[in-house]
Amino acid sequence: MSEMDIQIDPQSEQDAKSAAEIDRGFTYRVTVASLIVGVFLAGVAALILFSLVRPLTADERGNVNWSIGGILYPVAAVFVGTILFWSVFGLPLRVARRRGVILDPEVYPWTGAVLLGVLFIGAFVLAVLLRII
């Protein structure tokens, strides 16, 4: 039996469509709101982790004394990246599922990725202008 042989009830299709509708405006709003939440959470996490950073030190023989505070820059980068990834690609789906709305598949993943890219490029340009980098 192939997929073409399966009969789909038109009434059940309409019920499923009316239960959850695609909403492009909601997709934009929830993506931007989720990114704002993610930026806030990532900022707080970065501030906490950066406050724990301690430079690596060497003893008189030149051996490096390793500590967890010495590797917190990469740990913070991975942690912040994970939070931002979740806020753009996970949180909007969760909000939409709870509201019974389907995110517009033509808009949803691209909107978050573009906004995240603009955020990173803007932060990089700002860091260059402020002579941080």
pLDDT of residue 9: 55
Please count the other Cβ atoms lying within 10 Å of the Cβ belonging to residue 57: 11
The tens-digit pLDDT sequence of the chain (133 residues) is: 555 555 555 555 555 555 567 888 999 999 999 999 999 999 999 999 888 887 777 888 888 877 777 788 888 999 999 999 999 999 999 999 999 899 998 898 899 899 999 999 999 999 999 998 8
Structural domain span for residue 36: 22-129
Residue at 5 is within a domain: no
Residue at 121 is within a domain: yes
Residue at 16 is within a domain: no
pLDDT of residue 33: 95
Using alpha carbons, select from 119, 121, 117 the residue that is nearest to residue 43: 119
Phi, psi of 8 (to 5 degrees): -110, 130
pLDDT of residue 69: 77
Residue entry with tokens 């912040």: 80
| Overall domain count for the chain | 1
